[in-house]
């Protein structure tokens, strides 16, 4: 087991608590927003908090007249959007796998709560055996390091798609990415460089872990990946940000979204995934979908709607 500075401080804190008679602090409850079992595999959706986003971050490219009734239907006004951040945890008896690591403390004050969520399940970062990234945006990647810039999940193997890795490590990305995303590029490169000697890369279609297959879902970022977790005939798809919200992404998946780096490719990916999952009535977990993100896609006329299955 690797001894990190975070562990040393944690152990010191526990010792002091014992000396003062305070004992350990009980974890906060209610973090595991959804729970699903696939045979012997247990899946939780853990809350990393939520984001605060200006509406134009998503809606800017969309036709305003057609958008208005959709926003009204879902009770969305002119104020900021506050999407949930749902980190998927998978346990199969041998492995404890996180899909993404949340925002950490350096992105938004309303996010970065993953460690507390793990604690509510009596897990620590050191219990995680594998970290699998959907992509390199801040709310999915920046939680990978602790306050000392060391890997937070110190015992884990870290895994990311080869195309995504190459994009964020490319020194030209910071100069070619949209100006508003420059900080994202700098932050992703810095964090991934810390993992450079121990990262495992994978490609589309590869079984990256037993029962876990990677599926290219490009567009939101150049190398975004979704993951199908399967046991026998049952499966659930971890879609990351390839389906980024429960309203416009379902009502008009063909529309370009301001949140996507390659908007045309992302729309094609979104339509393909929704068509496949609706046809098969396949469960999925979306990183920014409500009620823990677990649900199904149901056809609604020529579009879809999100049917939540969370608590």
At 113, list the tokens: 């709560």
- The pLDDT value given to residue 31: 63
**Over the stretch 4-42, which tens digit does the pLDDT of each residue have?**
333 333 333 333 233 333 333 233 344 666 789 999 999
How would residue 118 be classed by pLDDT, with cut points 50, 70 and 90? very high
- The pLDDT value given to residue 32: 66
pLDDT cut 70: percent of the chain above it: 89
Rounded Cα distance between 227 and 282, Å, is 13
Top-tier CATH class for 30-308: alpha beta
Higher pLDDT, 50 or 22: 50
* Mean pLDDT over the full length of the chain: 90
Domain extent listing, the chain: 30-308
**Over the stretch 243-289, which tens digit does the pLDDT of each residue have?**
999 999 999 999 999 999 999 999 999 999 999 999 999 999 999 99
Rounded Cα distance between 81 and 57, Å, is 9
Q: Which of 29, 46, 12 is nearest to 115 (CA)?
A: 46
How would residue 77 be classed by pLDDT, with cut points 50, 70 and 90? confident
Beta strand 32-38 with 283-286 is unpaired
- The pLDDT value given to residue 309: 86
- How many CA atoms lie less than 13 Å away from 78 in the CB half-sphere? 1
**Over the stretch 85-114, which tens digit does the pLDDT of each residue have?**
999 999 999 999 999 999 999 899 999 999
- How many CA atoms lie less than 13 Å away from 282 in the CB half-sphere? 22
Q: How far is CA 220 from CA 261, 265, 269, 307, in A?
A: 5, 8, 9, 23
Q: Is the pLDDT of residue 52 over 70?
A: yes
- Helix boundaries (H) for the chain: 5-20, 56-59, 64-73, 114-120, 138-141, 162-169, 173-176, 182-194, 248-251, 263-280
pTM score: 0.90
- The pLDDT value given to residue 300: 85
- The pLDDT value given to residue 30: 47
What does DSSP assign to residue 151?
A: B
**Do 311 and 33 touch, CB atoms closer than 8 A?**
yes
Residue listed under structure tokens 């969370």: 310
At 132, list the tokens: 């699998």
At 65, list the tokens: 């007249």
- The pLDDT value given to residue 33: 66
**Over the stretch 202-228, which tens digit does the pLDDT of each residue have?**
999 999 999 999 999 999 999 999 999
- The pLDDT value given to residue 310: 54
Helix (H) or strand (E) holding 161: strand 157-161
Residue listed under structure tokens 């990190």: 4
Rounded Cα distance between 197 and 187, Å, is 18
Rounded Cα distance between 52 and 187, Å, is 19
At 179, list the tokens: 């100006």
């Amino acid at each position: 087991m690797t001894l990190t500075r975070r562990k040393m401080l944690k152990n010191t804190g526990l010792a002091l608590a014992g000396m003062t008679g305070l004992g350990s602090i009980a974890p906060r409850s209610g973090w595991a927003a959804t729970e699903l079992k696939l045979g012997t595999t247990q899946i939780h959706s853990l809350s990393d908090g939520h984001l605060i986003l200006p509406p134009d971050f998503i809606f800017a490219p969309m036709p305003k007249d057609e958008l208005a009734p959709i926003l009204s239907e879902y009770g969305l006004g002119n104020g900021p959007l506050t999407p949930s951040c749902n980190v998927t945890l998978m346990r199969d008896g041998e492995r404890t796998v996180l899909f993404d690591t949340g925002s950490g403390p350096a992105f938004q004050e309303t996010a970065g709560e993953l460690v507390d969520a793990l604690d509510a399940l009596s897990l620590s970062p050191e219990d995680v055996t594998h970290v699998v990234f959907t992509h390199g945006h801040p709310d999915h990647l920046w939680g990978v390091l602790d306050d000392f810039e060391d890997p937070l999940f110190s015992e884990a193997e870290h895994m990311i798609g080869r195309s995504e890795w190459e994009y964020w490590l490319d020194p030209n990305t910071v100069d070619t990415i949209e100006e508003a995303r420059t900080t994202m590029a700098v932050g992703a490169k810095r964090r991934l460089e810390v993992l450079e000697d121990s990262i495992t890369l994978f490609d589309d279609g590869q079984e990256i872990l037993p029962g876990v297959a990677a599926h290219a879902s490009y567009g939101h970022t150049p190398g975004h990946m979704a993951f199908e977790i399967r046991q026998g005939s049952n499966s659930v798809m971890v879609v990351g940000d390839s389906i980024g919200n429960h309203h416009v992404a379902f009502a008009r998946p063909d529309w370009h979204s301001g949140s996507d780096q390659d908007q045309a490719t992302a729309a094609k990916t979104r339509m393909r995934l929704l068509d496949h999952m609706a046809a098969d009535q396949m469960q999925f977990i979306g990183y920014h979908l409500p009620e823990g993100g677990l649900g199904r896609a149901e056809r609604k006329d020529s579009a879809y709607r999100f049917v939540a299955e969370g608590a």
